[in-house]
Structure 1
């Protein structure tokens, strides 16, 4: 096996689980939040939770498409990227709305159901922000790849995310 094929195989082995993990998290995270909060959530939590779920779904779709592209199954890849590009602004608006509702839950004593609602909103908003940055801008996830982790620990900053690079390529090809 050539070095290129081995590298591609290694990359595919590392990336294949991503889409499944993101899709599972789109379901499991809200369920876990509802469980931990004993169902005591209101719109204060539901708005940032919706943002978080949207970004996890975008991530699942992106990684599934990326794996297919790396396997040479490129049909629909550019359409998927165009859809993801069109979702950037609505996702950002939803993330910002989620952050505002989470903040409102801490400021307005009568808005949340209780402390669990506040924490559910805050956690969901934080995860939504991280997912938005991680997909549309900079790779903030470095725990799954030794080289990425070493780069971060060496103070070399956060590199553009895979999706951000693919979207930039799409814009250049325009």
Structure 2
């Protein structure tokens, strides 16, 4: 597959939101935050403006209007181009249909956990489990509040997925704790 002109999830989000209507970067930033997308896509105002520039350079979006309201700075509205719409759909198809190997920090830490002693690892894993339970409860709360407000479940599927992953990681951490406390600690090398 050819390399994408912009290969980051923020670029994908910009393309997706511009299917609704032309927007300027500041408005899109506010929309991303209002819709809770900052929980799924890491961004700053600066990175958003940079992505707008990359998307424009690649021909995926184009400026359609520049205006100024009062003493505010000039704002340029951008719209999705036909090529941008095609790229959005192709990219989403790739992300949804093809698993890709990711490099989560926790997996890296697990691969090196033997460098610590069980006495260090057990409290760290207990703290992680507690933090994960809090994150799971937050995700559940976001989803339940949005459903109660009438949001269609399709627009909350990422919260359902997030909660499912958190439950799986909590289960793994509990199992790993049980293995360590159930006898693995005796055979553990670790550092002293």
Q: Could you say which TM-score interval applies, normalised by the shorter chain?
A: 0.3 to 0.5
Q: TM-score, normalization: structure 2?
A: 0.37
Higher relative contact order (CA 8 A, sep 6+): 1
Q: Flag the structure with larger Rg.
A: 2
Higher strand share: 2
Higher helix share: 1
